[in-house]
Amino acid sequence: MSLFFLSLFAFVFGACLGSFLGVLVDRASTGEQVLRGRSKCEHCRKVLETRDLIPIVSYVLLKGRCRHCNSKIPLRVLLIEVTGGMIASGLFLYAYFTGLNIIELILLLAVFFSLVGIFFADFSYGIIPDEFVATIILSSLFLLISYPQNLFQNLIVNIITGFLVFSFFLVIFLLTRGRGMGFGDVKLSFAIGLFLGFPKTIVALYVAFLTGMFISIILVLLGKKKLRGDSIAFGPFLVIGAVIGYFFGIQILNLFFK
């Protein structure tokens, strides 16, 4: 089979996984029981039919509205499916060209889908579900163990990085009394430090704070947020930082220190 069809297959698989992730995000964030019950319309509570559950396609055919009550389906539903597809095909190609094995690919998928889940949960609900953070921590540990060369060195470096970043965020959390960022961000920072290790974590934090500040200033200038009192979720910026840090961390550092 050609590489094109394999990556297309990965996209479809990722979109399905993204669709499922969207359900997990909604249920973890609203406190509904995860993995229980069938998907319903948020508005009229009608159980969705199979033909309305096809990732991306259903949303487009329904023009983003419920078949029964015509109320809007959140755009998040479509975005999560498209992102899922792009991540799965992107990681598949990355694994193909860098020679990662299937176990490493599955662990990376788990990390990146958790990051996407955190992005949308924090953006839409202001919550970073512990389940996603725990998945990143466990997958990162397994990824570290899967490289037998320099095992202890890698493990120690990444664990120390995680704790240093955790302490840094904990200080910010305590100094701002939780208004600057939530405790979810503190836990997430440990997971990202453990996943990326040194020096990629530095790039991730740099990108997160830079984009966070940039977007905040724009929102204040547009009058969408007040300078005092209003807070914006920091999780999505940490996620963007982690993704850029993972793929481009070393290249970005080389730009600055060469």
Q: Which residues bind Zn ion (CB under 5 A)?
A: 41, 43-44, 66, 68-69
**Between the CA of residue 194 and those of 165, 191, 197, 219, 247, what are the distances in Å?**
9, 5, 5, 32, 16
Shortest Cβ distance from residue 125 to Zn ion (Å)? 20
Q: Are 28 and 131 in contact (CB under 8 A)?
A: yes
Identity at 168, one-letter amino acid code: F
The CA-to-CA distance between both ends of the chain, in Å, stands at 42
**Between the CA of residue 83 and those of 19, 47, 78, 144, what are the distances in Å?**
10, 25, 9, 26
State the Cα–Cα distance between residues 91 and 108, nearest whole angstrom: 8
Nearer to Zn ion, 49 or 230 (CB): 49
Nearer to Zn ion, 44 or 175 (CB): 44
Shortest Cβ distance from residue 45 to Zn ion (Å)? 7
Nearer to Zn ion, 67 or 225 (CB): 67
Nearer to Zn ion, 41 or 160 (CB): 41
Shortest Cβ distance from residue 60 to Zn ion (Å)? 17
Shortest Cβ distance from residue 64 to Zn ion (Å)? 12
Shortest Cβ distance from residue 44 to Zn ion (Å)? 3
Non-local (6+) Cβ contacts of 104 within 8 A are 95, 143, 146
Residue 71 DSSP label:
P
Nearer to Zn ion, 8 or 53 (CB): 53
State the Cα–Cα distance between residues 46 and 50, nearest whole angstrom: 13
